[in-house]
Chains A and B, each alone.
Chain A
């Protein structure tokens, strides 16, 4: 038995919830949200700290509060939510196979699919830290779930590798729960965490942040007892003379996120090696018509507010697709990352202005820079320029490309970040 829906949303985190609600608002009736966990909200319910919602709700909320706004709206909307259900395959006909705790094997045929599977964390195995195989080595997100949802603190003396937001947040969380956080180590010469987290999670508690440092070995018997820490050189290789042991019983790893795109790949969609996600047009539609993606499965976001916004952009596109209301441009306009820019999304603009005044672009810079100009370049000429006081890899750059400057014949826009005139903060 195959059930039919207009829209199947894969993942009930912030992206999936926002997309389902927006699609319903745009008149899409038959929607199902498939969620593998026992509750909705994705990572948000375990992100108990505040700082969410400032962009989207204009109000500072905690993760669970941010999630609850959408969970409550979903309940009211009566959109079908199938939790404890893991999608294992989607084929190019948009036929979905899922394993459900209460329904067994489910077969679903959808006219449109929104991919919102989010990310998983990189593990010790991914980064290959030598040493003993021990209890006490876990990803920061796992430690966060144990501490904030399941109710046990995973250690007493902690070393954290990685100063992204999850690492910083967990440093504070472990400290507040009575653990001693011996150090946060960062391989790069700067932290990729949000500024407010660097201030409020480390500086507030005098937790040392060791830049240009990594763990070269983990040792112990059954449980972690010590880690060997070394400074790294310009090539990020450990410098043997700088190695020292730090005693600890727990190592938390906050060493990056991997978009969970196995289902995407299964549909024959290639991944962009920089983002780890699919390539998409301005509606966040992949190369398979009717298959859209948004949130962390598309590219890793630093603010959930942008995830929500991106999912809503996608949902509007999904509604247009389902209602057959799209008009293709004669030429699609490719957007490319130029100097100092790691990536820009969307990758291209394929459809004509559909009551929009601009296309919102999400970008990430390669390194921290101060006093920059963002140039939109077509055929070697700057057609639009924004000034920014600073640009940080840890904070996504969002800028609008106004529809009125897009010429029907334009085929490429390259976006480059240039220094105004001062020296780059970290460049010698």
Chain B
């Protein structure tokens, strides 16, 4: 249980890496300080309450100029689901051509977040 708690969160929204302090009482945020922009404040609040990460990885491609296409979750998914998501993604195989932004898998692990392609892979014969 957290009672009076001071947590330092390093903001990763941009390369500045601001060190943000979140003060809380019984898990309820009382004060956030040390941020330099609204995005930083938002990040610190989210990172305290529900840490999420964008998951970048690859999936297999059939008939493409490369054997893999890089993909990512369009938004962050809960940190705790990252490894489980990798297991799901390992089963996927797509057909070339693939374009950036193509939907690879809808609503991964009921997170409401889609997996999309991040590279163009042309078809080859």
Contacts and interface: CB of A to CB of B under 8 A. Distances in A.
B56 A50 contact: yes
B112 interface: no
Given A55-B15, A176-B86, 14 more contacts: A45-B119, A64-B70, A64-B118, A64-B119, A65-B100, A68-B100, A148-B58, A176-B57, A176-B83, A177-B57, A178-B86, A195-B10, A198-B10, A204-B82
Contacts, number: 77
Interface of B: 10, 12-15, 17, 53-58, 60, 66-68, 70, 72, 79, 82-83, 86, 100, 118-120
Nearest to A305: B15
5 contacts: A48-B56, A48-B70, A176-B86, A204-B82, A303-B15
A249 to B, nearest CB: 20
Nearest to A41: B119
B12 A62 contact: no
Contacts of A176: 55, 57, 82-83, 86
B15 A196 contact: yes
Contact of A395 (B17, B53, B66, B70): B17
B43 to A, nearest CB: 11
Contacts of A51: 12
A199 interface: yes
Contacts of B83: 176
Contacts of B10: 195-196, 198-199
Interface size of A as a range: 20 to 34
B82 A62 contact: no
B83 to A, nearest CB: 7
Contact of B56 (A55, A62, A198): A62
Contacts of B86: 176-178
A280 to B, nearest CB: 24
Contacts of B119: 45, 48, 64-65, 68
Given A62-B56, A151-B60, A176-B83, A48 B15 contact: no
Contacts of A200: 12, 53
Contacts of A151: 58, 60, 67-68
B54 A50 contact: yes
A154 to B, nearest CB: 14
Contacts of A50: 54, 56, 72
B17 A196 contact: yes
Nearest to B72: A62
A204 B9 CA distance: 13
A150 interface: yes
Contacts of B53: 200, 204
A91 B113 CA distance: 54
Interface string A67-87: 010000000000000000000
B48 to A, nearest CB: 14
Given A50-B54, A204-B53, A194 B17 contact: yes
Nearest to A306: B15
Given A48-B57, A65-B100, A196-B12, A148 B70 contact: yes
B79 A204 contact: yes
Given A68-B120, A150-B67, A151-B68, A54 B15 contact: yes
A62 B70 contact: yes
Nearest to A178: B86
Contact of B118 (A65, A149, A150, A196): A65
A149 B15 contact: no
A194 B16 CA distance: 9
B68 A149 contact: yes
A361 to B, nearest CB: 17
Contacts of B58: 48, 147-148, 151
A148 B67 CA distance: 9
Contacts of B120: 68
For A54, A147, A176, A395, which residue has the most chain B Cβ atoms within 10 angstroms?
A: A176
Interface string A296-313: 000000110000000000
Interface string A364-387: 000000000000000000000000
For B15, B60, B86, which residue has the most chain A Cβ atoms within 10 angstroms?
A: B15
A49 interface: yes
Nearest to A71: B120
A384 B119 CA distance: 44
Contacts of B17: 194-196, 395
